[in-house]
Amino acid sequence: MPRFTYLSTLFMLSAALAPACTYPKVLGEAPLEGDTSSGTDTSSPGTDTAMPSTDGDPPGACGNPAFTCSQPVDCEQWDCGALASPFDADGCLRPTCTDSPCAADEICYSVEQPSECPVGVVACGDDPQTGECVCELSDACTTKHCIPADEGPPVECPAITDEAACLAAGCSEFAAGVPLYRLDEGQQCILDEIVPACLWFPGDSWGGPDAPGTFYDKATGRATQFGTDWVVPPHGWGDCDDPDAPPVCACVGQCIDLQAEGDHLLAIDKPCNDVSDCVLADAICYAGDTCGSVGVHKDNIDAWNALHAQLETSSCCDGAAACGSDLACENNRCVAVFPP
C-alpha cells in the first residue's frame, strides 16, 4: 500500500489493524536534549504518490510543521485526543519523539503494534491537485508521539514508598530495598542508603536476576542496580549506559557487587584456632588482595573458589598478580602474609 494516502483510506487501514495493537506504553519523561532514540527509522524510499513537502514551511494553526492541512481531520474517525491517536483533541498531528525531545510539559508515548505495520502518521499536508489532506504513513511497527504529561499513566509512582499503595496506583513494580550509591568528596563510592522504590516502566519486562542493569535516580543523582536491564528506564531513572550518565554509575554493577561479596565473605570467614585451619586461596581477580592470594578457613575454601571463578568468568578481574605469600592465623582470622 502506498505510504501516502487520503485520511479516509488511512483510517480504514488503522481500524483494520486495531485488534492487533498492544496497549500503548509511556516512555517516561521527555528525552533530554541530545538523547538518541532506539525507535525504528520511519524513512523509506519514495513512492509514485508525492507528498507535499513541509520542509521550510511555517507551522500551521496547530503549531506542528509536520501538519499543514488547511482543513481539519475527521476526529470521529481518528478518535482525536485518545492517547494512542496520532491526533490530539483539537485534531492536530501530535509531534513525534523518536528523534527529538517532547516539550517540558509533555511525555513521550509509545504505541506498539508488533504484528502489523505500518502504524502512525509522519506528516500531513494538502494535495496540490485535489486540495485534500493527505498523510504520510510510518514504515515502523511502533511509533512515539508527545502527549500532555498530566494525561499519562501514574507519574507519581517514584514518590510512593508503600508497596500496597504502589501497586494500587497502577505502578509496575515495588522494590523493598534498593541500595543507592553516591560519590563522597574524595570521589569514593559510598552506600548512601537502602530505600524502597516504586517503579513504573513501559513494557512487560519485570525485575529479576537474569539480566541486571544499572540506573541512576535523576532526582538525586544516586545510582543502583536493578534486576532487569530495561531498554527504556523506569520513570524518573536514567540508564547508566547513556553517554551522559553521572560518574557515580561506576559504583554499581555486577563487578562491584561481586567484589563486595568477596569483602563480605572474608569478613565473616570462620575463625581459626591456628594456621592448620587455614588454606592459601587464589585471589588474582579479587580487588582486595595485595599479592594474588588470600587466607581462607579450610571449611570455606569451596565458597571462596566459586566466587573467585565468578569474578574471572564475568571479566571482573581487578586484583594483583601472584607474587608468593605465606599463611598465618592472626586474631583468629586466616590471612595471607606477603614477603616484604
Q: What is the pLDDT of residues 151-172, one digit of tens each?
A: 766 667 888 999 999 988 888 8
pTM assigned to the model: 0.45
Find out whether 237 and 29 touch, Cβ atoms under 8 Å: no
* Distance, CA of 98 to CA of 266 (rounded, Å): 49
User: What backbone torsions phi and psi does residue 69 show, to the nearest 5 degrees?
Assistant: -65, 145
Domain boundary among 252, 275, 290: 252
Does residue 89 register a pLDDT over 80?
yes
Domain boundary among 252, 283, 314: 252
Domain boundary among 209, 230, 252: 252
CA 60-66-70 angle, 5° bins = 40
* Better-scored residue on pLDDT, 293 or 207: 293
* Distance, CA of 12 to CA of 16 (rounded, Å): 6
The residue whose grid cell reads 508488533 is 114
145 and 186, same domain (yes or no): no
Q: How many residues does the chain have?
A: 340
- Residue 286's SS3 state is coil
**Which of 67-81, 197-211, 253-267, 309-323 is the least confident region?**
197-211
The closest of 274, 277, 321, 323 to 300, measured between CA atoms, is 277
- Residue 121's SS3 state is strand
Does residue 97 register a pLDDT over 70?
yes
Residue type present at position 60: G
Residue 259 in domain? yes
pLDDT tens digits along 207-258: 555 677 899 998 899 999 888 888 778 878 888 988 889 999 988 887 887 8
**Which of 93-97, 105-109, 138-142 is the least confident region?**
138-142
Q: How much is the pLDDT for 197?
A: 94
How many domains does the chain contain in total? 3
Q: How much is the pLDDT for 24?
A: 35
The closest of 14, 265, 259 to 117, measured between CA atoms, is 14
41 and 102, same domain (yes or no): yes
As a whole number, the mean pLDDT across the chain is 76
Q: How much is the pLDDT for 306?
A: 94
Q: Rounded mean pLDDT of 43-61? A: 39
Confidence category of residue 77, pLDDT binned at 50, 70, 90: confident
340 exposed, middle or buried (CB, 10 Å; 0-12, 13-18, 19+)? exposed
